Structure 1
Amino acid sequence: MKTTAPKKAATLHDVAREAGVSLITASRALSKPELVSEKTLERVKLAVDATGYLPNLLAGGLKSRKSQMIAGILPAVSVAQFLPTLQALTDTLAQAGYQLILGQSGYNQAREDALINTMISRRPDGLFMAGLVGSASARERLVQAGIPVVESWDYSDRPVDMLVGFSHLKVGGAIAGYFLSKGWKRVGMASADDHRARQRCEGFVATWGREVPTAFVPAPSGLALGRQALSQLLAQAPDLQAIYCSSDQMAQGVMIEAQARGLRVPQDLALCGFGNAEFSAHVEPALTTVSVDGRLIGELSARLILERCAGHTPQQPIVDIGFQILERASTAQSP
């Protein structure tokens, strides 16, 4: 078999040759276009298109000590709650000329540590974390790196650097308080096993005053695991009146399994989710859930990073955006 050697990447010399200008002129047209004539600039642009030239951002970054790259680490991009945050974060950073590079930890601490090491080695201008940095060693490395860091979708009064989030303990407590206000006595929880979901369960139990039947499934939770969780819960307590689910996706699975078993929602079993996923208002019955402004988290996180990149100290480095319970038909009182 014949092998084809990889095509050599175009260089600035190739662009200059194609445009019929000097190397200095080609460089100036790309870095400081206001210093060359419109005619020359157009010739260089056409040459860039013709040669497929891509500027060496790393070389430029070494000179300016700016990579124009922000690193982001998420447990999983498949988690619907994170999508508005990612969109807002990407849009806000792009408006300032920065690009977001993502990595997934898979809810695995060792993988998160490895990702942080890799990201730091690439010299990003900042780091966005969906969640808190999990290990003390990773926190120390980030402090030593001296780059802006925003932790999000969680809360701590001692973040690595900056934080935009909310308390999951308070979320759990608020849901338990809501269940108590409904007068339910026999309640349960269907939860993923990640740190934030477990915190909500802890907050629920603290407010409820005693342990309740709970089914834990691996994160990230979804529809199939929701069905599995309800099966586990009903095996523990067949007469449950209401269930809190750690995500709307899980709650949808619980709802499907309940209906498959002939249980009516909410007459026989009330359900509350978390995350206010797009579908939650449109299932039948519509799902009561906890709403968190994920887009605001993304916007504020980007602004804090950009402020630090500009050499300024944010006046409010820790922002608690709060949450709200959206009551819908899935927890309506029985007729």
Structure 2
Amino acid sequence: MQNPDEKPSGISNPSMKDVARLSGVSKMTVSRALRAPDSVSPETLARIQEVIESLGYVPNRVAGNFSLNRTTAVAIVVPSLGNALYAATMQGISDILEPHGFQLMISDGGYSLEKEEKLIKMYVAERVCGIILHNTNHTEKARKILLNSGIACVETGDLCANPIDMCVSYSNFEAGLAMAEHLISLQYRKFGFASLPVSWSDRLSERRRGFVMGLERAGLSMDPRLVLEVEPGLESGAHALGRMLDLGLPLDAVFFAGDVLAAGAVIEAQRRSIKIPAQLAIAASDDNELMQNIIPSLTTVRFPRYEIGSQAAELIVNRSLGVPSETRCLNLGFEVIQRNST
């Protein structure tokens, strides 16, 4: 019998049998502990739970229903279903999955790593054949569950130095850097920056880090008072620009790490009769349809969101067919779009 104190290592896609062996009990006891915890002793239950935690084991809800131990479902978790940015990615995924007979399951992670972890655990328990995550940072437990599950996983929010499995994206750092270089080439020198709270997403912190690096390479810097974190929405963008202007500091260009915030800033500038770009330049990122049609049209960074979705889905379909991927990470890049706001 396995020593209960032995530490598990290198177990991929752990099973109930592994939990039983490492806990020093039978599979039936593990099953009872999962289904009716009160039916086993507290000491045994604690030992089983410790092994489950260390393995990242998730009970299989569909084991009796599918001979291949996998469904034909692919799950995607995005930070917010209310954010239209993710629509193109989901469409790209759907357009690839549907002809192959796969179903798409969509969940809202709510900018919460803990909620994402719960969703990952649920999808692993349902034995989906693939999981697509917009986040690239996760709780340690979520990462362990995914690594041990054997389920294909694609991260899409940023290029990963160490992806869980596969990654299809662009570099947020390089995007921020490119926008800084673009604005500097247009002779702007006094900058502000606004984004959603960077604690919500490493994508935002990387975009800001790239922008700051671009300024530093040109011998420039931003006053810390002109670097803001705000809540989502048009009004938040307007409020952010208002706060910057009310400081009375030199300011000739502001980069908003989000289109909706930038659109709100345009509205605020118009309220104050500030001419864009003659008196103040405004740049954005993401390039949704609003950016092309707002007056003035906004300079922005365009990301290939549809292509990211379709490529991520292709990787999962190929994995299910036994076709190996040529690379773990696909860099689809981005494009700085010059328009009338700068």
Does the pair score TM above 0.5?
Answer: yes
Q: Deviations over 1:107-143 (max 9, x none)?
A: 1121111111111111111100112142222111101
Paired position in structure 2 for 1:65: 69
**RMSD of Structure 2 on Structure 1 (CA):** 1.7
Paired position in structure 2 for 1:178: 182
| One-letter code aligned to 1:143 | L
Paired position in structure 2 for 1:316: 327
Paired position in structure 2 for 1:242: 253
Alignment of 1:142-221 (within 5 A): 142-193=146-197, 194=200, 195-209=202-216, 210-212=221-223, 213-218=226-231, 221=232
Q: Is the 8 A contact 2:88 2:305 kept in 1?
A: yes
Counting matched residue pairs gives 273
Paired position in structure 2 for 1:7: none
1:242 CA displacement: 0.7
Tell me how far apart the structure 1 counterparts of residues 253 and 167 of structure 2 sit (CA, whole Å). 33
Between 156-165 and 187-196, the greater mean CA deviation after superposition: 187-196
Structure 1 residues 61 and 130, CA gap change in structure 2 (3 angstroms): farther
Matched, 1:306 2:322: no
Tell me how far apart the structure 2 counterparts of residues 160 and 273 of structure 1 sit (CA, whole Å). 30
* TM-score (norm. length: structure 1): 0.78
Which of 274, 280, 300 aligns to 2:285? It is: 274
Q: Secondary structure at the match of 1:124?
A: coil
5+ long unaligned stretches in structure 1: 1-57
Tell me how far apart the structure 2 counterparts of residues 60 and 313 of structure 1 sit (CA, whole Å). 28
Q: Secondary structure at the match of 1:62?
A: coil
1:328 CA displacement: 0.4
Paired position in structure 2 for 1:135: 139
Paired position in structure 2 for 1:53: none
Tell me how far apart the structure 2 counterparts of residues 201 and 224 of structure 1 sit (CA, whole Å). 21
Tell me how far apart the structure 2 counterparts of residues 112 and 64 of structure 1 sit (CA, whole Å). 26
1:59 CA displacement: 8.3
Matched, 1:264 2:275: yes
Paired position in structure 1 for 2:236: 225
Q: Secondary structure at the match of 1:149?
A: strand
Q: Is the 8 A contact 2:63 2:69 kept in 1?
A: no
Alignment of 1:104-143 (within 5 A): 104-143=108-147
Structure 1 residues 181 and 61, CA gap change in structure 2 (3 angstroms): farther
Q: Secondary structure at the match of 2:263?
A: helix
Structure 1 residues 108 and 236, CA gap change in structure 2 (3 angstroms): farther
Tell me how far apart the structure 2 counterparts of residues 214 and 197 of structure 1 sit (CA, whole Å). 13
Tell me how far apart the structure 1 counterparts of residues 328 and 289 of structure 2 sit (CA, whole Å). 30
Tell me how far apart the structure 2 counterparts of residues 231 and 284 of structure 1 sit (CA, whole Å). 19
Matched, 1:290 2:301: yes
1:237 CA displacement: 4.3
1:312 CA displacement: 2.2
| One-letter code aligned to 2:296 | P
